[in-house]
Amino acid sequence: MGEPGREEYRIQSFDAETQQLLKTALKDPGAVDLEKVANVIVDHSLQDRVFSKEAGRMCYAVIQAESKQAGQSVFRRGLLNRLQQEYQAREQLRARSPRGWVCYVTFICNIFDYLRVNNMPMMALVNPVYDCLFRLAQPDSLSEEEEVDCLVLQLHRVGEQLEKMNRQRMDELFVLIRDGFLLLTDLSSLAQLLLLEIIEFRAAGWKMTPAAHKYYYSEVSD
């Protein structure tokens, strides 16, 4: 994980001063304020969906660099504190900025995907990630294509891991998804297609058969 070239590429989306801060955090984490670094990454993730999809890799790299240099976890603590703050204010964020809300869900799922404790996902993130996905499966969210797209993408990315951590909550989430697919009358054609695809994806053991991939993704591209 954390090829230098890819980290450099992601850093280019920041202003020059912030680029220098992040480069230093990756190479000499003890020389910078790592809580500030955590806030910078979260702030940018809430504004840039492309970055939010990949920020976990950068966070993992900083955590590894800090652990190797000083055996500490200042950055990880700052990152998790900020994620918790945004999580507690998630309804306000969704009301204020639907795009920011989608970016937040993408980011927290990305962090869940990358951060490990003893090679296991962080238990502290399991319920917050589930809560975000449950919010995306509510009827008012399912009527918004961007939120449906986010829900399905995150389940593709972390659904299998989440299910291993708490099968009951995944069952409950898919009850909501199935009910939305079957009962809501204002779903767009794309939302219906995406929901049916993720239902079948989980039913197949979190795998996509070649036939299903051809069916769903030729439909999406059309």
Percent residues over pLDDT 90 in the chain: 81
CA distances for 12 relative to 59, 62, 114, angstroms: 16, 17, 21
The two three-digit tokens of residue 127, written as one number: 């319920």
* Residue 163 CB neighbours (<10 A): 18
The 10 Å Cβ neighbour count of residue 88 is 11
Please count the CA atoms within 13 angstroms of the CA of 118 that sit on its side-chain side. Answer: 1
Q: Using CB atoms within 10 Å of the CB of residue 102, give its burial: 0 to 12 exposed, 13 to 18 middle, 19+ buried.
A: buried
Contact between 121 and 165 under an 8 Å Cβ cutoff? The reply is yes
Cα–Cα distance, 85 to 199 (Å, whole number): 31
CB 202 within 8 A of CB 181: no
- What sign for the dihedral angle of Cα 76, 77, 78, 83? positive
What is the DSSP-derived secondary structure letter of residue 121? E
**What are the boundaries of each domain within the chain?**
13-117, 119-217
Range 13-117: architecture per CATH = Alpha Horseshoe (1.25)
Q: Supply 33's token pair.
A: 């304020």
Which residues face 117 on adjacent strands?
120
Residue 207 CB neighbours (<10 A): 10
Could you list the pLDDT tens digit for every one of the 222 residues in the chain? 444 455 554 677 788 999 999 999 999 999 999 999 999 999 999 999 999 998 999 999 999 999 999 888 999 999 999 999 999 999 999 999 999 999 999 999 999 999 988 888 899 999 999 999 999 999 999 999 999 999 999 999 999 999 999 999 999 999 999 999 999 999 999 999 999 999 999 999 999 877 777 777 665 555
Token reading at 67: 């652990």
pLDDT of residue 209: 78
Burial of 3 (0-12, 13-18, 19+ CB in 10 A): exposed
Find residue 120's DSSP bridge partners.
117
User: Are 13-117 and 119-217 equal in CATH topology?
Assistant: yes
Q: Which residues have CB under 8 Å from 53's CB, separation 6+? A: 106, 110
Whether domain 119-217 has CATH 3.40.50.2000 = no
Task: Give the CA diameter of the chain.
Answer: 56
Which position has the token pair 């767009």? Answer: 188
pTM of the model: 0.90
Q: How do residues 91-102 score in pLDDT, each as one tens digit?
A: 999 999 999 999
